[in-house]
Amino acid sequence: MSEYNLQVLLKRRPVGEPVEGDFEIVEGPVPLPGHGQVLVRNRFLSLDPYMRGRMSDAKSYAKPVELGAVMEGATVGEVIASNDPAFAPGDAVMGGQGWQRFCTMDGAKLRKVDVNEVPLSANLGVLGMPGLTAWVGLEDIGEPKPGETVVISAASGAVGQVAGQIARARGARVIGIAGGAAKCAFVKDELGFDDCLDHRGDLEAQLDAACPNGIDVYWENVGGHVQAAVFPRFRDFGRMVMCGMIAQYNIAPGADAAGAPPGPNLGPVVRKRLRIQGFIVSDHGWQRYPQFRAVMLGLIRGGQLTWREDVVTGLAAAPRAFIGLLKGENFGKLVIKVE
């Protein structure tokens, strides 16, 4: 094969905001599949906020990427060669092949996808880990009911756009929060949320106007000043789905006290009988993937679920795009088109 591999490695652990020099881009030979293995050519790579955690060796729910190793990440691609009878060249597959062009994997770690159902890259977003996160968090924690008010932060992003549309399909009134007029217009006009508030403006006043009776479910993606504005507006028996707090991911360990934005006063948790629960989608989410996929495809066919991707071309552009994701520069689910 005259092709060569391209890989993005973790060169050093960032302190604070990552920089491009924390990554190293290397060329190498295309690997050969071993016994029971499949050679995959990655077509799209998912970039997700959790990758910031993998760059750090601070204690977490998952192991960090080793220095000098390929950055971790979900991918979709095409089988080039297979030593596993379950896969044939040309099959479209999803898996966790990382920030690289080619990869060999055990067949058991790959999942075939049907490109007639949705475009290949959508298996990284609406039908991938972010979509699964949205569905699991609402099924298990948020449980929105018809007529309830649901507020979704980072509403134009990978998780937020799906969470809001699921909540709406269940009959809730859904208010998004996003950064800037263009994202807010998209959330309202194209995703069909009831309203979308710009967190760069006076968020407290906008929340009062949009949620005059308070908030039943808050989907937390962000933390910081957004959380501080939403939290006092919970109704009794409100639920807070603690999905992530991206505003804090670049704060160095040990600097939390000095660097973290002030959190809300938790006193009302008791008085209002609030439920605040965190979750990690990989705990039990993937066992429920077939059910999730069937529900999502039903919503897509019924015109109740749409999505936006932010596609950046070329693996070499991944470090820059990832740094931008942590500052809100993406608009929609961020994916790299691997060339």
Contacts with ligand NAP, residue ranges (CB under 6 A): 48-50, 130, 133, 154, 156-160, 178-179, 183, 221-222, 224, 243-247, 279-281, 325-328, 330, 333-334
Shortest Cβ 179–ligand NAP spacing (Å): 3
Q: Distances from the Cα of 152 to the Cαs of 127, 167, 280, 331, in angstroms?
A: 19, 10, 18, 16
State which residue, 80 or 167, has the beta carbon closest to ligand NAP: 167
Rounded-to-integer distance, Cα 140 and Cα 284, Å: 11
Check: CB of residue 51 under 8 Å from CB of residue 322.
yes
State which residue, 80 or 197, has the beta carbon closest to ligand NAP: 197
Nearest to 231 by CA among 277, 174, 274, 187: 274
State which residue, 107 or 160, has the beta carbon closest to ligand NAP: 160
State which residue, 326 or 338, has the beta carbon closest to ligand NAP: 326
Residue nearest ligand NAP (C-beta atom): 157
Shortest Cβ 238–ligand NAP spacing (Å): 19
Nearest to 67 by CA among 8, 6, 11: 11
Rounded-to-integer distance, Cα 242 and Cα 265, Å: 16
State which residue, 151 or 158, has the beta carbon closest to ligand NAP: 158
Rounded-to-integer distance, Cα 112 and Cα 76, Å: 9
Shortest Cβ 283–ligand NAP spacing (Å): 8
Strand partners, 7: 26, 100
State which residue, 82 or 227, has the beta carbon closest to ligand NAP: 227
Shortest Cβ 220–ligand NAP spacing (Å): 8
Shortest Cβ 133–ligand NAP spacing (Å): 4
- Extended strands (E) in the chain: 5-10, 23-28, 37-46, 75-82, 92-95, 102-106, 111-112, 149-152, 173-178, 195-198, 215-220, 234-242, 275-278, 309-313, 333-337
| 3 state DSSP class of 334 | strand
- H-only helix segments in the chain: 50-54, 129-137, 158-169, 181-185, 203-210, 224-230, 256-259, 268-271, 281-284, 289-301, 318-325
Shortest Cβ 140–ligand NAP spacing (Å): 11
In the chain, what is the straight-line distance between the N-terminal and C-terminal CA atoms, in Å? Answer: 16
State which residue, 131 or 238, has the beta carbon closest to ligand NAP: 131
Shortest Cβ 302–ligand NAP spacing (Å): 23
State which residue, 80 or 134, has the beta carbon closest to ligand NAP: 134
Shortest Cβ 161–ligand NAP spacing (Å): 8
